[in-house]
Amino acid sequence: MLSSTWNFIKRHKRKFIFAGVFVGGVYLLGKYAQRKIQEMQEREAAEYITQARRQFHFESNQRTCNMTVLSMLPTLREAIIHHLNSESITALLKTKPANKLEIWEDLKIISFTRSIVAVYSTCMLVVLLRVQLNIIGGYLYLDNSVTKNGTAPLAPPDVQQQYLSSIQHLLGEGLIELITVVKKAVLEVLGPVSLKQSLSLQELEQQLTQIRQLVEEGCASSKHKSLSWYMMPDEENTLASQACGLTENDVTTIKLLNETRDMLESPDFTTVLRTCLSRGFIRFLDNMSEFFRPPQGDSNPSSTPDQLSHVSLPLAKIIPIINGQIHSICSEIPSHFAQDLLLIDQVKEFAANVYETFSTPQELQK
C-alpha cells in the first residue's frame, strides 16, 4: 500500500509541487494583504486623529478670534470718539451760542462720519483679526505638531506679540486716514442737505450708498486705492525699512506681515470684506428703522418696508439718532452688530482656508 501511494505521488509530483507552491503563495499573499490592510488602517487612524486634532485647534482658534474682536471693540469705539467728539459739540449747543446753525452743521457731519467710520472699522477689525489669528494659529499648530521634531518654532512668543501689535495701525494712522476720507465723502453728499429736510429710511439708505461709493471707489480723492491700507501700512513702512540691525525675530515678523498683506490684497479677501460691509450697513439701517416706525395710534402695529418708506424725519431729528449708533455698533456685550459679522458664512470659510494654508507643512504644499 505504501508503494502504491508512493507511486501515485511520483506520477503526480508536478501537481503536488504546483499545489504546494499555490497554497504557500496564497498563504503569503494573505499575510501580505493582512499586513497592508493593517498598515492602511493604522495610517487612516493616524490621519483621522491628526485631522481631529487640527479641527479642534481650529475651532478653539475661532473662539479666540471672536473673543479678541469683542474685547477690542471698546478700544476702537474710544479711538473713534476721541477723533470725532460730538459730545463736546452737543454740550456747546446747550449753551445757546449765536452761531447755533453753524454748530448744528458741524454736528451733522461729525455724527454721520463717526457712525459710518464705526461700521467700516468694525468690519475691518473682524476680517483682519480673522486673518492674523488664523495665520498665527496655523503656525502654532505646526509648532505643537509631533512632526516638528524639535526644530526652532515658526512663531515664538516674541514674534507673535510683535506681529499682532500691527493691529495698532487700524486703531491709529489707518483710522485717522479713514476718518479723513469718510468725512470728505459725508461733506460732499450731506453738506448741501438742509437740517429741515425730511428723509425717509429709504432716502437715508440712498445717502449712505452715495457715501460708500465715494469712499470705496476712490472718488473721495483718497491717496490709497485699496481699503486694505487702513488695516496694514505699505510695505516700506514696516520693519523692512530698517536697513540693518534686524534680529531673527524681526525677519520672521516681516515674513508674517508680508504673508498677511498678500492675504489682504487677494480677491477672496476683498469679497469677504465687501460682504461684511454690506451686512454691516444693513444692520446699521435695521437699527435706524426702529425710529422710522409709524405712530403707535396706527391700526397695524407691524411696520412693513413699504410703510417705513412713508415715514420721514427731519434731518435735525435724525442726527442725534445717528450720533448714538456708535455705542450699538462698537458694543462688546451684547453686540448684535459684531456677532452678525462673525457669523457670516463667507467669513468662516475664508478663515478656514487661511488656517488650512498655514497649518499644512510646506513639504505637503509642494
Continuous H helices in the chain:
2-11, 13-83, 86-93, 100-143, 157-164, 168-171, 173-190, 201-216, 248-264, 267-289, 305-309, 315-324, 326-329, 336-342, 345-358, 362-365
Beta bridge partners of 314: 198
pLDDT at residue 26, as a whole number:
60
SS3 at position 314: strand
**Which pTM does this prediction carry?**
0.82
The three cell numbers locating residue 106? 458741524
Residues listed for the chain: 366
Beta bridge partners of 199: 313
Distance CA 81, CA 87 (A): 9
Beta bridge partners of 312: 200
CA dihedral 155, 158, 163, 164 (to 10 degrees): 110
pLDDT at residue 134, as a whole number:
93
- Taking the CA of residue 323 as centre, how many other CA atoms within 13 Å lie in the half-sphere pointing to its CB? 20
pLDDT at residue 18, as a whole number:
59
pLDDT at residue 148, as a whole number:
53
pLDDT at residue 331, as a whole number:
84
Residue 244: phi, psi to the nearest 5? -145, 175
User: Does the bond joining 157 to the residue before it have cis omega, within 30 degrees of 0?
Assistant: no
Residues 6+ apart with CB under 8 A from 139: 154, 155, 358, 359
Distance CA 280, CA 286 (A): 10
Rounded alpha-carbon distances, angstroms, from residue 95 to 3, 108, 318, 323: 132, 18, 21, 19
Distance CA 147, CA 109 (A): 57
- Amino acid present at 155: A
pLDDT at residue 46, as a whole number:
46
Run means of pLDDT, 10 residues per run, the chain, 366 residues: 55 58 61 59 50 68 88 94 93 89 95 97 95 91 68 82 92 95 96 94 95 80 70 66 70 91 92 95 93 68 57 93 93 81 92 89 55
pLDDT at residue 338, as a whole number:
87
Count CB-CB contacts under 10 A for residue 362. 8
The three cell numbers locating residue 152? 526652532
pLDDT at residue 37, as a whole number:
57
Sign of the CA dihedral running 323, 326, 328, 329: positive
Residue whose C-alpha cell reads 478653539 in the numeric block: 60
The three cell numbers locating residue 112? 454721520
pLDDT at residue 7, as a whole number:
57
| C-alpha 157 chain-centroid distance | 23
Residues 6+ apart with CB under 8 A from 229: 174, 177
- Taking the CA of residue 247 as centre, how many other CA atoms within 13 Å lie in the half-sphere pointing to its CB? 7
pLDDT at residue 322, as a whole number:
96
- Amino acid present at 90: T
pLDDT at residue 105, as a whole number:
95
